[in-house]
Amino acid sequence: MHEELKKKADAIRKWNEGLIHGVTLRLIRTDGSQSRAIEGFIRDFSELAPGIVLEEEKGKDEDLPGIYIRKSWELHFVPEGTELDPFLDLLSAVDMGAADIRDDIRDILENHSGGVPLTLFLSTQCHNCPAVMRQIAPLPLVNPALRVRVIDGLLFPDQASEHRIQAVPTLIGEGGIRWTGQIRLEEVIEALVSRDKERFDKETIERMITEGDAAPLADMMIEAGRLFPDFLDVLTQELFSIRLGAMVIMEDIAERAPDLARTALEPLWQKMSGSDESVQGDIIYLVGEIGDIDWVPRLEVFLKVGVSPDLEDAVQDALDALTSE
């Protein structure tokens, strides 16, 4: 058994008695010493704490080994040293489904419809890191759209180098905004939720669709009165599952803000010549759903240039939709 866990076995057993529902941890294993260090610790920990359910799976090549909790937390560190107690505090909060967070910060997060990705670099020997971990880790309990990723910069030096980490704790938010050392949580939250919403890039939008967090995107674009520029690129993404998610968002916008939705049609039409047939078919579908009678001549001209039977059917369906109103 891990030496630190041996020393704190009684305290962990007592902590386990306070769990109400229990917490499921998902261990992602990969090859290498980093994974073995995390695996060994968390397996020993789960033996001491029966209220912890440990599920294991082999990660993909690009995955970092770590401990995953629901869809909100990725913990890429061994919860030892100065980080054992904050780790226990997080598990207790997840077990209860509630966190002790100030009302002003809770109000900001509850009223924020967008996702807020946060990455915290720390070290398990750092004296300032536990305080930051305790402030950041529970936030997804207030707003599940938040994603908290915690990485031990010493255990994962390549990731620390990639993010140019010079000291810990370092907290990184969307767009690369960062804080080093002790933080003022209200300052962090205000800075993150007030960032220009047009900075939602293609990668962020695609991630939100993939992870099932796309619903707020329509709300944000309607509120802003404009479509995010990269959203149009997602609408013409070749991967159908991503494109379908974007089309569902567009249909939602069309239902609630039809004039805003129509602003997408001209730039989408400009992408027709460089898109494959499946993307062209979806653009034509959107023209039929969102456009008006002025689009009929353009569709008729497109039909005359000679298209495949599938596209011909799509154009005819769009024409029927536009002329039946």
Cα dist from 320 to 284, 288, 292, whole Å: 12, 8, 11
Q: What is the pLDDT of residue 324?
A: 83
Q: 258 and 282, same structural domain?
A: yes
Q: 201 and 187, same structural domain?
A: no
Angle between helices 9-17 and 84-96 (to 10 degrees): 10
CB-based contacts of 193: which residues, under 8 Å, 6+ apart? 108, 109, 112, 114, 116
What does the pLDDT average to over 270-299?
A: 91
What does the pLDDT average to over 158-162?
A: 94
- Has residue 198 got a pLDDT over 70? no
CATH number at residue 150: 3.40.30.80
Q: Count of domains in the chain?
A: 2
What does the pLDDT average to over 83-97?
A: 96
d(CA 46, CA 52): 6
Model confidence pTM above 0.75: no
Domain termination site, one of 177, 193, 209? 193
| Structural domain for 221, as ranges | 197-323
Domain termination site, one of 160, 193, 226? 193
For the chain, what is the radius of gyration of the CA atoms? 24
Q: 185 and 61, same structural domain?
A: yes
Q: 217 and 150, same structural domain?
A: no
What does the pLDDT average to over 157-169?
A: 92
Of residues 174 and 317, more confidently modeled: 317
Q: 182 and 57, same structural domain?
A: yes
Q: What is the pLDDT of residue 302?
A: 86
